Amino acid sequence: MRRWTALLKRLARRGAERPDAPEASMALFDGEGAPTVILVTLLGVADHHVEEIVTTTHARFVRSRVVYVTDSLDFMRLRRMGAAFEYLPPALDQQLHAGELSWRLYLERRWDLLLAKWKPLHVLSYGQNIETYLRAAPDLARDAGARDEGP
């Protein structure tokens, strides 16, 4: 423990000696507090539109942390642009594995976790909005009841 304390003190002194160094502080954020977060959903958006959307939203929300929620497996475009992102499975994958779990319940819980994790000030939607996306998800209980009723 003493070594860690000594190391932190040395690093603080070293930072104070450099005139171009930011003020030494143990705080994660400056006095303004945590940055606001904007969640931007890109559900069903064609891959060739993503770069324009990311550029536009980053320019519009300069003082906020913008996090993209995508259903595309093309993560490299977002990574190259330095964008933070979260992934939700696309409708096709949900349909292919519809009998394995209640997608609606899973996605509603996943969305709740994303909201709790990022605590966004706003949610912007490009493509399909999140409410429509969640309602369209296969639900085992609902789908099983429809199969039992038959034609």
Residue labelled with tokens 């770069």 = 51
pLDDT digits (tens, 9 = 90+) for 24-74: 444 444 556 678 999 999 999 999 999 999 999 999 999 999 999 999 999
Quick one: which of 77, 73, 92 has its CA closest to 133? 92
- pLDDT tens sequence across 74-124: 999 999 999 999 999 999 999 998 888 899 999 999 999 999 999 999 999
Whole-structure pTM value:
0.72
| Structural domains in the chain, sorted by start | 35-149 (3.40.50)
What per-residue confidence (pLDDT) applies to 35? Answer: 84
Choice between 39 and 21, residue whose per-residue pLDDT is larger: 39
Q: In residues, how long is the chain? A: 151
If you write DSSP's letter for every residue of 88-141 in order, what string do you get? Answer: ---HHHHHHTTTTS-HHHHHHHHHHHHHHHH--SEEEEEEB-HHHHHHHS--HH
Task: Please give the pLDDT value at position 124.
Answer: 97
